Amino acid sequence: MSDVVKDKWAALRQATPARIALGRSGAGLPTRANLEFQFAHARARDAVHSGLDLDALEAELAPLEVIRVASAAPDRASYLRRPDLGRKLAEGEAEKLNARPVCDVAFVIADGLSSAAVQVHAAAVTHAARARLEGLSLGPVVIASQARVAIGDEIGAALGARLVVLLVGERPGLTVADSLGAYLTYDPKPGTKDSQRNCLSNIHGQGGMSYEQAAGKIAWLTRAALERKLTGTGLKEESGALGVENAPLIDGA
Q: Per residue of the chain (253 residues), what is the pLDDT tens digit?
A: 555 657 777 777 777 777 777 777 788 877 787 777 777 677 767 667 677 899 999 999 999 999 999 999 999 989 999 999 999 999 999 999 987 889 999 999 999 999 889 999 999 999 999 999 999 999 999 999 999 999 999 999 999 999 999 999 998 776 778 899 999 999 999 999 999 999 999 999 888 899 999 999 999 999 999 999 999 999 987 766 544 444 433 333 2
Instruction: Confirm whether pTM is higher than 0.95.
Output: no
CA neighbor of 175 nearest in space, from 33, 47, 18: 18
What's the order of all strands across the beta sheet hosting 66-70? 66-70, 138-145, 103-110, 161-169, 180-186, 197-203
- What pLDDT score was predicted for residue 244? 46
- Distance in angstroms (rounded) separating the CA atoms of residues 106 and 128: 14
**What contacts 32, CB < 8 A, 6 or more positions away?**
none
Positive or negative, the Cα torsion across 147, 150, 151, 155?
Answer: positive
**Helix 123-131 vs helix 54-61: crossing angle, to nearest 10:** 20
pLDDT given at position 180: 95
Q: CB burial class (10 A; 0-12, 13-18, 19+) of residue 168?
A: buried
What pLDDT does 207 receive?
81
Percent composition of the chain: helix, strand, coil (DSSP 3-state, to 5):
40, 20, 40
Task: Say what angle helices 123-131 and 211-228 make with each other, to 10 degrees.
Answer: 50
